Structure 1
Amino acid sequence: MASRSLTRTLALAFAGTTLAVFALVGSVLYFALDREVKQQDDLDIVLIARHARRLVEELGTLADLSRHADRLTSQVLGNAALSMEILGADRNVLLAYNTEGIADPATPSPALSRRIGETQRIVQGDIAEWHTARGVPVRGVATDALLRDGTRVTLIIARNMTDRWVLLDYYRDRLYWTGLAGVLLAFLMSSMLVRESLRPLREIASKAGTVTVDRLGTRIEAGNVPRELAALVASLNRMLDRLHDGFQRLSQYTADLAHDMRTPLGNLRSATEVVLARPHGVDEYQAALVSNLEECDRLSRMIESVLFLARAEHPQFAVRLGDLDAAKELAHIADYFEGLADDAGVHLRVTGDAHLRADAELFRRAVSNLLANALRYTPRGGDITLSAEASPDAVRVTVANQGPTIAPELLERIFDRFYRVDPSRRRETNSSGSTGLGLAIVRTIMDLHGGRAHAESDAASTRFTLTFPKSFHPPPPRQ
């Protein structure tokens, strides 16, 4: 389906609004003029009828009507649209002036059906409106009058409204054409104005079109855009910042992953080449296979960690929260690592008592990573303490160990993927089996729980703390 033009849509909307306004205003003016014209004509008819009735009542007999005809018809003289007619008791015409096209001898005037008595006051509400047999519009009034001898006559004052209809039709046509021209002008002007108003959007789109993988640092200037678009520009720039940061982290992550995978692959290749270089004894072959197996295990752990981080960032990854006894879980983890701790000459202690809501599998993995990291850097004869402490709003699980101090500026960066701390924090070899992803997995697990992982280090010990909020409710997996 073809996309709509925003410029054309807005221009049509403005034109439609203009048409509606013109139609409303034009209708109001038209009907106001029509009412004003009728009121003025009706007032003239009423005043003429009142005056003419007084003149008739001053006459003595029917014969006086003929003698004073000029005096009576002078009331409508000077206006070709006005007419006067005086009827006798049997509806015979006694006097008529300018009644051509209005009076119809075969059809009595409709004003007679609303005839006013000789003693009643003539008002504008008494005006009747009708059309002749030829379709001529007429407005008029009929009233009785008594001569001095008691003879009753009927006086009819009428006005031919054809000229008024012509005036109103002309005025209506002018409104039509003026409205049409106004709508056309509004459409053209609004098209130009909307197009000019949308120019900042086109500039934003043009600037955004220059952003490529090689130019993720490009930003949209917000200084010249209208206030209404400032929020859009700010959102786009923040999105570009996130994309740039994400791409940088992805590039660094890929480079670090390739570097870390190259080491065990190089070890595998070197050991295999040494074995294949010349014949060896069974013990040497077994030693080489054991070394290769260790490197394979290291690669497997690295791949499994990378896959976990990828799954954890997927919208459909679900966290299954449950009530856990933190002390009991920590005791189980300590029992699992007891053999490794004995080999390293490190003593494990579990303290505290707290309950929390967490995914049991993820909780154990996070604490196990911290404990494995602590075992890696705790000197022989040192202590590692696993503790759980409850507060009104959170539960804090801490893994503390003795060992070299971590610089304050590195305490947050150690949770980055493949980040390497100062060499004093590492063994001389990679026999520890570290993949550089353990603390990154810990932070990801805490993010999934709406919590926080942070580290503290001083001369006494290094402490990794996991803060689990009590009021966290994970969002449902997105489809």
Structure 2
Amino acid sequence: MAGRSLTATLALAFAGTTLAVFAVVGSVVYFALDRQVKKQDDLDIVLIARHTRRLAEELDTLADLRSHVDRLTSQVLGNGALAMEVRDPAQNVLVQHNTESVVDPGTPAPALLRRLGASQRITEDAISEWHTARGVPVRGLAADAVLRDGTMVTMIIERNMTDRWLLLDRYRERLYVVGICGMLLAFLMSWMLVRESLRPLREIARSAATVTVDRLSTHIEVDNVPSELAALVASLNAMLDRLHGGFQRLSQYTADLAHDMRTPLGNLRGSTEVALARPRSNEEYQALLESNLEECERISRMIESVLFLARAEHPQFVTTLRDLDAAHELARIAEYFEGVAEEAGVRLHVTGGGRLRADAELFRRAIGNLLANALRYTPRGGDITLEAAETPDKVRVTVSNQGKPIDPSLLERIFDRFYRIDPSRRSDPKSAGSTGLGLAIVRTIMDLHGGTAHAESDATSTRFILTFARA
């Protein structure tokens, strides 16, 4: 089941981010405009109130005030949203201009306002905001003024804010339209840009689709790959190289296994066919059965080794590590091979010592394989030395034997499964018991211990060196 489109997801994310940015910026600008408009209107109201107070304080009586109505109302002329009232102490209206368009008739406006005394300074802080019964938004203030005869009058300056609300509503609607259009444009552009940015990934996918079992050596080639994807391409190519190498080793391993299995099976079949070609004596049949038993044992050892290697590569393979006395273990192994060594005319020597940390059974199997290999290729009268040397952080166990030196270029390959330096040794009687897996098992055992196994060879001897952690 296909998952969500990465292109669509990223495009939606960019579009959502764009919308959020538009919303934040638009809100900031909208509220800034709202504050600026109110600030400007409040300043107009304050200035009108101050001028009206100053004009009123220059008049002597209420009669003079009534006779100078035009002078007072001139402060709000030219702006249909502004209104003015002047009332006496009994709240009787002395002067009135444009109040019908601002407040409802009969509304006790002074009760809704903060009233400033005659001695108080008129500032923007004195302005109040309310709604009329018709829902009309109004801002205004009330301030007292003292005529020259001492009479107190109240001035009310109001402004109908409907036009400002309509202005802000239109501005808000435009912000909505611009925000939605910006989001759609951002989605479209983001979709195109992301799709183009992901083109190298599609090319990688197309290139990877051409890799088959027969073409594991093919590398993923992408022109102008971005730096962010260069590591991915390198990792995929490295993985293909490992798969190719592993597949080649598996193919070679299978071919070698089939070849090595065919040899003892061919021996079994050939000897049996020869024996059945004519009647044989009991002694001849017994010799045939003994020969067949040896071949069966060889096949059994080969199968056991293959199974061990398969189990050892499994992540759940269990090792029981404990402290071992290297000298004691080497002496025990040498004692076990003493009879075989005497029969081969080879002398065994155990030297050195130290304590190491390893699985006892696997340690014995590794040393046993090396010792069996050394016995196979040490000439009669030669010496084999098992040596343990301790260093501050590790223990080196060396199995060295005299004999024909190994080419340095082959010292690593001898640890490969079924690898033999000289193919003619397959028919060598001394190699009859070899399955070609002994050194591969040694390398696997050392990998399980986190150690190393390597070989050195010169004219004096061939040495197999195993490195273990100290106890």
Where on the TM-score scale, by shorter chain, does this alignment land: which range?
over 0.9
Provide Cα deviations, 1:381-410, integer angstroms capped at 9, x if missing partner. 111110101001110000111111111111
Match of 1:378 in 2: 378
Match of 1:409 in 2: 409
Match of 2:29 in 1: 29
The Cα shift of 1:426 comes to 7.3
Matches within 5 A, 1:463-478: 463-470=463-470
Match of 1:88 in 2: 88
SS in 1 for 2:237: helix
1:254 and 1:94 map into 2 onto residues whose CA distance is 116
2:45 and 2:21 map into 1 onto residues whose CA distance is 36
The Cα shift of 1:192 comes to 1.1
Matches within 5 A, 1:433-444: 433-444=433-444
Task: Return the letter of the residue paired with 2:219.
Answer: R
Matched, 1:294 2:266: no
Match of 1:136 in 2: 136
1:361 and 1:112 map into 2 onto residues whose CA distance is 100
The Cα shift of 1:103 comes to 3.4
Matched, 1:161 2:156: no
Measured at CA, do residues 338 and 131 of structure 1 come closer, stay the same or move farther in structure 2, by a change above 3 Å?
same
Match of 1:9 in 2: 9
Preserved CA contact (<8 Å) 1:110 1:128: no
Preserved CA contact (<8 Å) 2:401 2:462: yes
Match of 1:57 in 2: 57
Matches within 5 A, 1:45-444: 45-109=45-109, 113-422=113-422, 428-429=428-429, 432-444=432-444
The Cα shift of 1:101 comes to 3.4
Task: Return the letter of the residue paired with 2:350.
Answer: V
Bigger Cα displacement from structure 2, 111-120 vs 339-348: 111-120
Unaligned runs of 5+ in 2: none
1:110 and 1:258 map into 2 onto residues whose CA distance is 111
Provide Cα deviations, 1:185-243, integer angstroms capped at 9, x if missing partner. 11111111111111110110111011100010110125521111011101101110100
Task: Return the letter of the residue paired with 2:407.
Answer: A
Preserved CA contact (<8 Å) 1:222 1:230: no
Measured at CA, do residues 431 and 99 of structure 1 come closer, stay the same or move farther in structure 2, by a change above 3 Å?
closer
Bigger Cα displacement from structure 2, 58-67 vs 112-121: 112-121
Task: Return the letter of the residue paired with 2:333.
Answer: I
Match of 2:456 in 1: 456
Preserved CA contact (<8 Å) 1:111 1:140: no
The Cα shift of 1:2 comes to 5.2
1:238 and 1:103 map into 2 onto residues whose CA distance is 83
Task: Return the letter of the residue paired with 2:401.
Answer: N
Preserved CA contact (<8 Å) 2:425 2:431: no
1:152 and 1:51 map into 2 onto residues whose CA distance is 16
Bigger Cα displacement from structure 2, 245-254 vs 92-101: 92-101
Preserved CA contact (<8 Å) 1:326 1:354: yes
Identity %: 76
Task: Return the letter of the residue paired with 2:246.
Answer: G
SS in 1 for 2:429: coil
Bigger Cα displacement from structure 2, 389-398 vs 416-425: 416-425
SS in 2 for 1:388: strand
Provide Cα deviations, 1:353-379, integer angstroms capped at 9, x if missing partner. 110000101000000000000000111
2:355 and 2:470 map into 1 onto residues whose CA distance is 10
Match of 1:474 in 2: none
2:236 and 2:309 map into 1 onto residues whose CA distance is 27
Across the aligned residues of Structure 1 and Structure 2, the Cα RMSD in angstroms comes to: 1.4
Match of 1:475 in 2: none
1:59 and 1:70 map into 2 onto residues whose CA distance is 13
Measured at CA, do residues 441 and 269 of structure 1 come closer, stay the same or move farther in structure 2, by a change above 3 Å?
same
The Cα shift of 1:109 comes to 1.1
1:103 and 1:184 map into 2 onto residues whose CA distance is 44
2:244 and 2:223 map into 1 onto residues whose CA distance is 22
The Cα shift of 1:77 comes to 0.5
Measured at CA, do residues 380 and 427 of structure 1 come closer, stay the same or move farther in structure 2, by a change above 3 Å?
farther
Preserved CA contact (<8 Å) 1:405 1:457: yes
Preserved CA contact (<8 Å) 2:127 2:140: yes
Number of aligned residue pairs: give it. 471
Task: Return the letter of the residue paired with 1:125.
Answer: D
Provide Cα deviations, 1:247-303, integer angstroms capped at 9, x if missing partner. 000000000110111100000000010111110001110111111011000000011
1:260 and 1:412 map into 2 onto residues whose CA distance is 21
SS in 2 for 1:100: helix
1:203 and 1:31 map into 2 onto residues whose CA distance is 49
TM-score normalized with structure 1 length: 0.96
TM-score normalized with structure 2 length: 0.98
SS in 1 for 2:116: coil
SS in 2 for 1:450: coil
The Cα shift of 1:174 comes to 0.3
Bigger Cα displacement from structure 2, 64-73 vs 18-27: 64-73
Preserved CA contact (<8 Å) 1:222 1:234: no
1:358 and 1:69 map into 2 onto residues whose CA distance is 113
Match of 1:40 in 2: 40
SS in 2 for 1:456: strand
2:421 and 2:113 map into 1 onto residues whose CA distance is 112
The Cα shift of 1:111 comes to 6.2
Preserved CA contact (<8 Å) 1:418 1:435: yes
Measured at CA, do residues 468 and 427 of structure 1 come closer, stay the same or move farther in structure 2, by a change above 3 Å?
farther
Task: Return the letter of the residue paired with 1:186.
Answer: A
Match of 1:476 in 2: none
Task: Return the letter of the residue paired with 1:416.
Answer: D
Match of 1:477 in 2: none
Runs of 4+ that moved beyond 2 A = 101-107, 110-113, 422-432
SS in 1 for 2:95: strand
Task: Return the letter of the residue paired with 2:313.
Answer: E
